[in-house]
């Protein structure tokens, strides 16, 4: 049986970890001269995807992701290409400059990350538990 105290503590710990991760993303974004939202978009754009797919991965509304992508397109980091299966939709793809920026983002995010206090096995266990808890 779960205790309500355990659930409260768990929620608090997850919230604190989320705050630490958000702060880490902001520091990385500031260091690279991009926004936090662009940092998250670059982290998630591992392959071509639609704006709806990106918004889901970023945990935001498609209109917010669209604003981020508009700025990134202006900076030459991303293009919108016709979707091969549906001409009404567009696929987002990183340009060469966007791919370089993404590599920089991934490298910077991996440095001094809040979960660095955990060893590899603990990080794997945490990922497994978080996937289970989030349905992903």
Which pLDDT value is given to residue 1? 45
Which pLDDT value is given to residue 2? 55
Beta strands in 6-124 (DSSP E): 78-83, 86-94
Tokens standing for 95?
């340009």
Which pLDDT value is given to residue 135? 85
pLDDT (average), residues 66-74 = 97
Residue ranges and CATH numbers for the domains of the chain are 4-134 (1.10.10.10)
Alpha carbon distance 136, 130 (integer Å) = 8
pLDDT digits (tens, 9 = 90+) for 82-117: 989 888 899 999 999 999 999 999 999 999 899 999
CA distances from 74 to 31, 44, 71, 77, 79 (A): 20, 19, 5, 8, 9
Which pLDDT value is given to residue 117? 92
Cβ contacts of residue 35 below 8 Å, gap of 6+? Answer: 29, 68, 71
Q: Do the beta carbons of residue 43 and residue 32 sit within 8 Å?
A: no
pLDDT at residue 3 is higher than 90:
no
Cβ contacts of residue 68 below 8 Å, gap of 6+? Answer: 35, 37, 38, 41, 58
pLDDT band at 136 (very low <50, low <70, confident <90, very high): confident
Q: Do the beta carbons of residue 109 and residue 24 sit within 8 Å?
A: yes
pLDDT band at 5 (very low <50, low <70, confident <90, very high): low
pTM of the entire structure?
0.86
pLDDT (average), residues 10-19 = 92
pLDDT digits (tens, 9 = 90+) for 33-51: 999 999 999 999 999 999 9
Query: How much of the chain exceeds pLDDT 90, in percent?
Result: 81
């Amino acid at each position: 049986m779960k205790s309500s105290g355990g659930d409260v503590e768990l929620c608090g710990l997850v919230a604190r970890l989320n705050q630490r991760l958000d702060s880490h993303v902001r520091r990385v974004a500031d260091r690279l001269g991009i926004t936090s939202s662009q940092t998250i978009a670059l982290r998630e754009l591992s392959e071509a995807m639609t704006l709806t797919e990106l918004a889901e991965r970023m945990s935001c509304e498609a209109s917010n992701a669209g604003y981020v992508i508009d700025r990134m397109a202006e900076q030459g980091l991303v293009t919108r290409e016709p979707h091969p299966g549906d001409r009404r939709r567009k696929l987002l793809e990183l340009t060469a400059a966007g791919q370089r920026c993404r590599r920089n983002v991934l490298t910077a995010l991996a440095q001094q990350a809040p979960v660095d206090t955990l060893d590899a096995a603990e990080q794997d266990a945490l990922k497994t538990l978080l996937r289970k808890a989030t349905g992903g």
